[in-house]
Structure 1
Amino acid sequence: MSEADVSSIFSQKNSRLPEDSVFFSIFPDFSLSPDLKSQSPKTNISSHLQSLHLQILQTLSSYTANYIWQHEPFTISVSTQTPCAFCPSSSNHIPHLHGKLRYGDNLEDEWFVVFLLFETSRKFPNLSICVWDTDGEFLLIESAYHLPKWVNPETSTNRIFIRGGNLHIVPNSQFRSVPSLFDALSYVMTHEEKTKASSSVQLAINKRVGDYPDRAVKNMHRAKVRVPVSVAQILKHEPCLISLAVEGFYDRDIDSMKYAANMDRFLPNKSSDEIVEVSVIMSRAMYAQLMQQTFQAPKCYPMPPRSDAGYSAAELGMKIACGFEMFYQTRKHDGLEGKGGTWEVYRESLEKSGYFEGLLPGSNEYKRLMENAQDYYRKSSLHSRESEIMSAPVRRIDDILSQPFSLDAFKGQEIPPSDDDSWLYDGEDELNAALLERQQEMEYYDLNHKKSSKPQEPEDVGPSSSSNMDDYDLGDIAKSMQEFIQKMSSFEGAEVPRDRSSNDVDLDVERFMQEIDSVMKPPKAVHAEGDDEDFSSDMDLDYSEDSDDEELADEHGDEQAAFMSSYSDALSEELKSTTLNKSFVHASDPQPKKDEGTSNASGDVEEEFTPVNVDLNLVKNFLGSFSSQEGLPGPASNLLGLMGLQLPHDNKGK
């Protein structure tokens, strides 16, 4: 089997998968037998799979008997009878069991399925199980902080299995490329100890499923409701149908609400005498869907006044009754009644899969295979009865309501109180606790990741990543900034220097730095000799390169130059009394001797007009900005990173 034939069921790119659904495949070891092709797959392998199917259903029935699923029950199918439409093509070449479950808004259903699969692998150690959803390998997502570095959605195809109650990962060293499903299953079967994931991975998965099955029981909510007697009769015989009623109510539209306006099937007499009080069990997700939606009762539906003590039970029961009416009438009128689980459909699937191997009806071999199929169907239907009911609810409802029943059967009964629903309104603490746990897990991962990635030999690490500030050349910052200035910039952005040997663009850097100096230096500086030296101010204009402008200079220009000079002198005098000048680091010129005497009351003039050290100020400001980031991303680290520099973290004071 070539790698091209192996379609990834674990990748998030598989758009075929229905959303809000979980899928699984169960591969028994005997399906990998090398003499499989020499056997008759419809007689030997199929019978083995059917026997295993019944054993698994029997084992899990104690967990699923009283569980109310959100949309559909947990079921398992045999690949030789019903090929999996959502499994990779490679798996359909290997006889196996498979299943699918839509969990919708109730994520607890998905993790309960995961628990059932882990439990199956414990009870049947000679099985390898795959499980995935529309997110791909969601078990890897749950244990992402503990996985080997090479594991990702692209490399995990045909490598992740549940076996013997543990998660197994086929190592990358064994198969450098994507292994075929058959090779991966064979390797897991013969090298269980090598493929078993680390204890930290197992612990992360166990945190999620370890509370089951108790968590599944906790997820059920009992509520006291007032419903029409017909609804009470249905829930008495088939409690699982509450999920379809909630789905019909929650997913209602304008057309289905027309049926609820009449209530012809479940409240034919439109009388309050038809209302009885019962206790209903549903999942917490269903209860939340009913409670969190405002719904006006139909005019024909009798409701007590809001001041009545039982109004809440009546309102909840009204929503359930309307949900029953909407889904029942919609399926009946649209012909959506399912046939799955009936003997006719089951027999047709056997014929399409080649179960009878072209035998003539009525022959002895044909009769023998038919008897085996009928016996298997009778046994499996005992465990999949709920699935059959959910696939054909209209017929089942009609069967129940066709039997005689009365109001007296529901009157005088002791109704247990409703469960506390504070969880519906006080979930913030639980959410914050979950977020805090995730945050701590992420911080622990980051800490270990940094330790493992810390360089061992300092000579292999450049100065930009050194942890010792004393060994770091701060002059690299000024040099890199100068190279950055020399690069080309436009409205599309600036070029970042990555190679210092790259060719420079045509730019007069010397003049650009003179302009920078004119900003940082005062217009005049008094030297010790007493001579005045003119400096260009930020307002000065250089006309030296324009011969035409020199010829056009007149008296008006001289007056303007004189004004600007006087203006700059006055501005400098005003700035002397401020702290602006002290905010810059000045060049360390030698101080004048005392006997030369050039001081004044406000301090040395030379100190006032000492030129600003541009490079030193640049480095100082970068370090201050980087320190204020406290190790988090920020403008200083981002800009230095673009220049290929990385400052060491400041651990002082921590």
Structure 2
Amino acid sequence: MAEIPPKDDFKWFGEGFQGFPKHLPEDVVEYIIFVIDSKLSDVQTRERLQAFKRAMSDLEKKFLKEYTWQREGINLELIREEGRWALQGRTNYGDSVADEWLIVYFLRELSKQFPDAWLRIYDTDGEFLLIEAANALPQWINPEIAENRVWINSHKLLLIPLEPKAAPKPLSLSEAFKTIRTKPNPLIHLEKVEKEAFHRLSNYPAAISSNQHHATLPLPRKLAAILHTNLSYISPAVEAFYLRDPISLRLIQPKHNPKGLTFPPEDWVTVSVRFTRVLYAQLRSQEWVPPEPWGAALAKLLLSSPWRDSRGREKAEMGVKLAVGFEMLLQSQTYADKKAVREIQLLLEDITSGEEPLPTDTEIEEWGKREDDEAWLDINFEDFEKELSGKGNAAPEGLEGRGFGDKAAQENLRKMVERFEDFLKDEDAGLEGAQGLDDMDMDNDSDISDGDSDAEDGDHERDIEFDENEFSRLLREMMGMPSSEKETLTSKAHDLARIKEVDETDDIEAEEIRKLSERMEAELNEHGALNLDPTPRKLAAAKDPFAAMKASSSKGKGKEKATEPDTESDVESNGEEEELDIDFNLAKNLLESFKGQGGMAGPAGNLMGLMGLQFPRDEAGDDDEPGRS
């Protein structure tokens, strides 16, 4: 059967080409909002979307006053899609999945205020809301047909069902609009699916503030002034340090950087810095030896209060790391186009020109200091093991352990354990997963339009059965065995070939099969079929392999008795005649296959070698050329 090419969802020119397939970059979530109301004009629809955008800004002002995004925040822009206005946004959330779910929370909340708004949200993995609800999904929905079927409307998760009696296929955006516009009621709302899809939102909006972490660190005064202006600058700085390379490390050393340092490690002040938990963990987990002059600055800090003890040493090291991160951010051309870098450069120009004086110690004290507990970083492995075993809630009230992280992490782990236990309790699940999957659950790497032909191929393969007569004929022809010895051997081969499935755990059946295999092997050895060394009979046949063909009938097929000559130049023989069964067409095909190898190793040559036939190489190549061997 021909190999099926991998599915790439791409149609070439002349085959309905609709543009190159779109794929989101890694760690990116995209969201799009449509207003579907037949009573609204095009202008009114645009105004409605603008109102949605203003409502999003209000939510951000209300909940994100002290929120730091890992990389990018929410951004919505008006676009034209399928002939209608829409709001579309894309956010790179980096390593902070919490940012992605914050966007889901905001969009879902706004869907209550705008019942005519229909929202889609998806990321690099596709419909990640369905991935969250995988164990609760109905059988008919799967990744191959899920695109444009998952919508958020009026705080609900809705699915566009399959058309009755129609082949399962993905929906285009225009088809989804048509269904929502003309038949909104048939959309499916499954509470269990919705609960699983949005289970991470159960702690919102409280989770918004709990995702932040405040720490008191030493920083150069100039850097403290920059951060006080906008704390969101910390995200690209931590990333620059986290992803540092040898070039960035050279740029933070004055001897390798003729421009000098932007934030020289001097005039240190103590300030409170707000991180996301991911940023804080990334910065703290980095092990490195600071080069000069940063190493000397750190050593000097550790001699002063309050950085002398072990706790203070960690904070001093993090302050130096953060200062180095900002230095790398501004020195490296990799980050020159970032909005934060351009803004910091403008602020530095104001400080250098004297328009913005550096803050005094008194002013810095008025900023206030905040130090959050770092218990969420600690892991109590005993509690972790209890959670994995499903016994996390077994401890009496007031006697619980310290835990293994924040509440959200514990809740997520409990959810994973519950899902795994549900799977183990599923009587329909087997060694390869849940049973009863339909054809659309299997990714066969072929377009849905080719499903019928694939099904026919599959039926054709299932119809192929073992042909006993053909097996006997091939066995006779290739082994060249006398007729008197064929029936016993082929009957045993038939018995072995008819065995479809063998339960290896059944000792009785396994033993019977082993004995049968041993008997068959013994018979084959007795007749020399497994002997790789040339036998007298094989050598005699090899001396003139065309002897029987020369005497064959004009039909091209026949049987002759080949007598082995008893001469000194030939292999010793008892002179007795033995019957050799030769199929003219089979021999001809073998010779043509051997010729096609061009003197190289190949299946025909290997097969003939096992039969004791050693042919010379075909040096000439064509039948008509002289000198043919």
TM-score bracket, shorter-length normalisation: 0.5 to 0.7
The alpha-carbon deviation at position 242 of structure 1 amounts to: 0.9
1:236-275 mapped onto 2 (5 Å cutoff) = 236-262=228-254, 264=260, 266-268=262-264, 270-271=265-266, 274-275=267-268
SS at match of 1:195: coil
Q: d(CA) in 1 for partners of 2:244 and 2:32?
A: 34
Instruction: Give the direction of change, closer, same or farther, for the CA distance of 1:299–1:265 in structure 2 (3 Å limit).
Output: closer
**In 2 relative to 1, CA 192–215 (structure 1 residues): closer, same or farther, beyond 3 Å?**
farther
Q: Give CA deviations for 1:440-474 in whole Å, capped at 9, x if unaligned.
A: 243355648999959xxxxxxxxxxxxxxxxxxxx
**Separation in 2, partners of 1:509, 1:436:** 60
* Equivalent residue, structure 1, for 2:489: 511
Q: Return the offset for 1:65.
A: 2.6
- Displacement after TM superposition at 1:391 (Å): 7.2
Give the aligned residue type for 1:267.
F
Identical residues among aligned pairs (%): 26
TM-score, length basis structure 2 = 0.57
Q: 1:96 aligned to 2:86?
A: yes
Q: Is the 8 A contact 1:518 1:537 kept in 2?
A: no
CA, structure 1 residues 53+329, in 2 after alignment: closer, same or farther (shift >3 Å)? Answer: same
C-alpha distance in 2 between matches for 1:193 and 1:254: 60
- Secondary structure in 2 aligned to 1:25? strand
Rounded Cα–Cα distance in structure 1 between residues aligned with 2:143 and 2:153: 20
Tell me the equivalent position of 2:465.
499
Alignment partner, residue 49 of structure 1: 49
Residue type of the alignment partner of 2:316: A
- Report if the CA contact (8 A) 1:72-1:390 is conserved: no
Note the 1:64-143 alignment, pairs <5 A: 64-79=64-79, 91=81, 93-143=83-133
> Does 1:395 find its partner at 2:402?
no
Secondary structure of 1:194 counterpart: coil
- 2:322 corresponds to: 320
Secondary structure class of the residue paired with 1:505? helix
Is this contact kept in 2: 1:233–1:400, CA < 8 A? no
Q: Which residue of 1 aligns with 2:36?
A: 29
Q: Shift of residue 54 of structure 1?
A: 1.5
Corresponding position: 1:278 with 2:271: yes
Please identify, of 299-308 and 225-234, the stretch whose mean Cα deviation from structure 2 is larger. 299-308
Partner Cα distance (1:208, 1:426) in 2: 23
Deviations 1:113-163 (A, max 9, x none): 111111111222210001111111111111122222221222122211111
Q: Which amino acid aligns with 1:296?
A: V
Is the CA contact (8 Å cut-off) linking 1:168 and 1:188 kept in structure 2? no
Deviation at 1:21, TM superposition (A): 0.4
Write the letter of the residue equivalent to 1:253.
D
For residues 169-213 of structure 1, give each alpha carbon's deviation from its aligned partner in whole angstroms, at most 9, with x where no partner exists: 111026755444244234335644431331110110121222222
How far apart are the structure 2 equivalents of 1:16 and 1:503? 54
**Matched residue type, 1:313:** K
Match of 1:291 among 281, 284, 287: 284
Structure 1 pair 400–208 and aligned structure 2 pair: CA distance change class (3 A):
farther
In structure 1, C-alpha distance between the alignment counterparts of 2:63 and 2:17, rounded to whole Å: 35
**Cα offset for 1:320?**
0.8
For structure 1, which segment, 540-549 or 219-228, has the greater mean C-alpha deviation from structure 2 after superposition?
540-549
Cα distance change of structure 1 residues 158 and 225 upon mapping to structure 2, 3 Å threshold: same
Query: What stretches of structure 1 move > 6 A for 4+ residues in a row?
Result: 3-8, 448-452, 512-519, 535-541, 543-549
Q: How does 1:330-409 map to 2 (within 5 A)?
A: 330=332, 335-336=336-337, 338=339, 392-396=343-347, 398-399=349-350, 402-408=355-361, 409=363
Q: Does structure 1 residue 438 correspond to structure 2 residue 419?
A: yes
Contact 1:17 1:134 in 2 (8 A): yes
Per-residue deviation at 1:225?
1.1
After the TM superposition, which residues 386-535 of structure 1 pair with which residues of structure 2 at under 5 Å, given as runs?
Answer: 392-396=343-347, 398-399=349-350, 402-408=355-361, 409-411=363-365, 415-423=369-377, 425=379, 430=410, 433-443=414-424, 447=428, 499=465, 503-506=469-472, 507=475, 508=486, 510-511=488-489
| Paired position in structure 2 for 1:488 | none
Q: Is the 1:6–1:180 contact (alpha carbons within 8 Å) kept by the matching residues of 2? A: no
CA distance in 2 between partners of 1:216 and 1:7 (Å): 41
1:395 CA displacement: 2.7
Classify 1:179/1:541 alpha carbon distance in 2 versus 1 (closer, same or farther; 3 Å).
Answer: closer
| Residue of structure 1 equivalent to 2:196 | 204
Deviation at 1:237, TM superposition (A): 2.0
Q: 1:20 to 1:259 in 2, by over 3 A?
A: same
| Distance in 2 separating the partners of 1:544 and 1:328 | 80
Instruction: Note closer, same or farther for the CA distance 1:305–1:260 as it changes in structure 2 (3 Å cut).
Output: same
Structure 1 residue 422: deviation in Å?
4.4
Query: How many residues are treated as equivalent by the alignment?
Result: 420
Q: Which amino acid aligns with 2:423?
A: M
Contact preservation (8 Å) 1:21, 1:134:
yes
Query: Which residue does the alignment assign to 1:154?
Result: 144
Question: Residue 231 of structure 1 is aligned with which of 202, 218, 223?
Answer: 223
Change in CA separation of 1:291 and 1:544 when aligned onto 2, cut-off 3 Å: closer
Distance 1:441 1:118, change over 3 A: farther
Give the Cα–Cα distance (whole angstroms) in 2 for the partners of residues 221 and 419 of structure 1: 8
Distance 2:86 2:350 in 1: 36
Larger mean CA deviation between 232-241 and 413-422 belongs to 413-422
Contact 1:128 1:185 in 2 (8 A): no
Gaps of 5+ in 1: 81-90, 339-388, 455-494, 522-534, 552-654
Look up the equivalent residue of 1:220 and give its one-letter code.
Q
Q: Residue deviations 1:486-521, cap 9 Å, x none?
A: xxxxxxxxx999536675402446236779999959
CA deviation after TM superposition for structure 1 residue 298, in Å: 3.5
2: distance between equivalents of 1:540 and 1:50? 84
Cα deviation for residue 323 of structure 1 reads: 0.9
Cα 1:393–1:421 change in 2 (3 A) is: farther
Alpha-carbon contact 2:211-2:277 (below 8 Å) kept? yes
Deviations 1:236-265 (A, max 9, x none): 221111112111211222232233224955
Residues 399/424 of structure 1: CA separation in 2 closer, same or farther (3 Å cut): farther
CA distance in 2, matches of 1:59, 1:135: 27
**Residues 252, 518 of structure 1: CA spacing in aligned structure 2 closer, same or farther, 3 A cutoff?**
closer
Q: Give the TM-score taking structure 1 as reference length.
A: 0.55
Partner amino acid, structure 2, of 1:23: E
Alpha-carbon distance in structure 1 between the residues aligned to 2:528 and 2:319 = 92
Alpha carbons of structure 1 residues 446 and 15: separation in structure 2 relative to 1, 3 Å: farther
* Secondary structure at the counterpart of residue 144 of structure 2: coil
Pick closer, same or farther for the CA change 1:433–1:228 going to 2, 3 Å.
same
Kept after mapping to 2: 8 A contact 1:28/1:126? yes
User: How many Å apart are 1:435 and its aligned residue?
Assistant: 3.9
Structure 2: give runs of 5+ residues left out of the alignment: 1-10, 385-403, 405-409, 438-460, 476-485, 497-511, 530-534, 539-563, 565-629
**1:288 partner letter:** A
If asked which structure has higher relative contact order (CA below 8 Å, sep 6+), I would say: 1
How many angstroms apart in 2 are the aligned matches of 1:294 and 1:536? 66
Decide whether the 8 Å contact of 2:30 with 2:89 is kept in 1. Answer: yes
Distance (Å, rounded) in 1 between the aligned partners of 2:528 and 2:127: 71
CA gap of 1:117–1:519, structure 2 versus 1, over 3 A, is closer
Distance 1:548 1:173, change over 3 A: closer
CA RMSD of the aligned region, Å?
4.3
Q: Secondary structure at the match of 1:150?
A: coil
